[in-house]
Amino acid sequence: MQTVNTTKKNNVKNLDPTVRESESNRFEKPGEYFDGYANEWDEMYTPKNASRAHDYVQRESKLLNWVETTLTSPKNVLEFGCGAGHCAAAVSERGHNVTALDVSSEMIEATRRRFASRNLSATFVVGQVQDL
């Protein structure tokens, strides 16, 4: 059975993997491990998780700056470990052909929903990069 600690302040799953009671599932069955985060992944980008949100927004900003200055014409872009598809969607919005890969089927579904809500298209793959 997979257990998840919750915070008392906002009753949201604690998204810090170091707080999980069982780490073995993270490495033995990573798809199942990250499936448990799929519905709350967007919380990582909100002010409720300010320090984490800042880190993710900073990384996304750096990625998009690189994309805009380096990829001058539409390219094929693979994002592995796409999570809920924040970066993948942003890259697609800039005209690139995106393949979104994640080990978690639930994360891929979250990515599909993000793309659909923005009328974007991509190739969605459940799997691990070493299997490509």
pLDDT tens column, 71-125: 989 999 999 999 889 899 999 999 999 999 999 999 999 999 999 999 999 999 9
Q: Is pLDDT above 80 for 67?
A: yes
Angle between helices 86-93 and 105-117 in degrees, nearest 10: 40
Identify the pLDDT of residue 59. 85
Sheet hosting strand 123-126, strand order edge to edge? 76-80, 97-102, 123-126
Identify the pLDDT of residue 75. 96
Identify the pLDDT of residue 102. 93
Nearest of 119, 57, 106 to residue 86 by alpha carbon? 57
Q: Look up the pTM and report it.
A: 0.70
What's at 30, amino acid-wise?
P
Q: Poorest-confidence range of 18-22, 33-37, 40-44, 73-77?
A: 18-22
Q: Poorest-confidence range of 16-25, 43-52, 61-70, 78-87?
A: 16-25
